[in-house]
C-alpha cells in the first residue's frame, strides 16, 4: 500500500506535461504492468489495497493542468487510458 501512496504522491507532483512524461516514460514499459497486475492478483480480496491502487490509477489519468497530452506525436495519453481501463475492467 505504501508503494502506491508514494507513486500517487509523485504523480500528483507532476504539474506539467514535461514532468508527467518523464515519470511515465520511466514507469510504463517496465514497472506499470508487473506492479499493478501483481498487486491486484495478490490482494484482490483486500478492499483497502484495491482502493489504494484505484486511487493511484485515478491520479494517473486525471488531466490536471493539461499534463496528459493527446497530440499526434505523443502517444502516452492514449496508453495511460488504455492500460488503466484494462485494470478497471
The string of pLDDT tens digits covering residues 9-47 is 999 998 888 888 889 889 988 998 899 999 999 999 999
Helix 47-61 to helix 33-42 angle, to the nearest 10 degrees?
150
pLDDT of 80 reads 81
| Cα–Cα distance for residue pair 51/68, rounded to 1 Å | 23
pLDDT of 70 reads 63
pLDDT of 71 reads 63
The string of DSSP codes covering 21-77 is: HHHHHHHIIIIIHHHHHHHHHHSTT-HHHHHHHHHHHHHHH--GGG-S---TT--HH
Cell of 7: 507513486
pLDDT of 39 reads 93
- What's the average model confidence in pLDDT over 72-83? 75
Amino acid at each position: 500500500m505504501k508503494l502506491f501512496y508514494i507513486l500517487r504522491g509523485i504523480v500528483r507532483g507532476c504539474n506539467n506535461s514535461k514532468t508527467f512524461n518523464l515519470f511515465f516514460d520511466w514507469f510504463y514499459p517496465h514497472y506499470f504492468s508487473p506492479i499493478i497486475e501483481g498487486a491486484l492478483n495478490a490482494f484482490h480480496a483486500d478492499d483497502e489495497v484495491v482502493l489504494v491502487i484505484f486511487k493511484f490509477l485515478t491520479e494517473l489519468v486525471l488531466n490536471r493542468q493539461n499534463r496528459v497530452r493527446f497530440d499526434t506525436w505523443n502517444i502516452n495519453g492514449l496508453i495511460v487510458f488504455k492500460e488503466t481501463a484494462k485494470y478497471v475492467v
